[in-house]
Each structure stands twice: as structure tokens, then as C-alpha cells.
Amino acid sequence: MAVIGFHFTKILTEKKKNAVGKINVSNNIVLIDVKEAKINVGDAKQKGIEFKFNYKSKFEPEIGYISLEGAALFVAKEAKIKESLTKWEKEKKLPPEVLQEVYNHLLDKCTVEALFLGRDMQLPPHVPLPKIKGEEKEKKKN
């Protein structure tokens, strides 16, 4: 199983006002559509799955948002492709191992892109960034 392709189809961001005081950030990713994809690999044709998604970060109270839409292309053994498509059509769900791999890939790509967009729009980071603690603060704790 592997995600072999990824692209954005829509990028929207808006800053309504400056971020001051307490800020709440909510992140969400949703699969919009799942459908079969035919992939040409040299002379061979392989089946895959195209996952269309929407990723959104909202900055509250009404500070702004980042919205990303796009698609990822997934390949696996034909039995796993068929199982995934059937489960999606019937229940709008996917096998856990497929869902985990696809969501992790989408989150990796979207989180980084949203960080850059947020920086350019002067929005606060939507995920915690690593920090180095100063020596003075460490000494005061001891």
C-alpha cells in the first residue's frame, strides 16, 4: 500500500482581524469523495483509489481560516482496492489500515502547507511548534 500522488485543487485563506487575546484553533480533515483511479505504469495498467479531501484550520474568535482541497492517489493490491471501494460505497468508511495511511499522508502535506500559508497571512501557528526552554526558567524550577 502506498500513496503515490498528491495535489491541491483549491487553496483559500482569509484573515479577518489581528489575533489578540485567547485564540482557539480547530483543525479538521474530511474525505469528500473516494473513487477508483486507473493508473498507467509503463505498458501496464493498475487500479488505484483517488481520495478527494478538505482540510480546514479555523482561528477563533473569527480571526481567520485556512482551507485546502485536493486529492491523493493510493495504490495497493487489487483485493484491498476492491475492499476499500466497496466499504466506501456502502458505509462511507474505509479499512483502518488504508484510512491510517491516507490520513497520515494528507496530514503531513496539509499541516506543512497550512503553516506556510498562516505565516504569510500573519495568522498564529495552527499546531504547537517546538520551543527551547531557557536556563533561568529551569533553575527557578529547581
Q: How far is CA 86 from CA 44, 50, 90, 92, 106, in A?
A: 24, 14, 6, 9, 22
Order of strands across the sheet that contains 64-75: 2-15, 64-75, 44-60, 24-41
Position 33 in a domain: yes
| Number of domains comprising the chain | 1
Position 140 in a domain: no
Position 8 in a domain: yes
SS3 109: helix
Position 114 in a domain: yes
Position 138 in a domain: no
pTM reported for the whole predicted model: 0.83
pLDDT, residue 3, reads 81
pLDDT, residue 126, reads 84
Q: Low-confidence residues of the chain, pLDDT below 50? A: none
Provide the domain limits for residue 59: 2-126
pLDDT, residue 137, reads 56
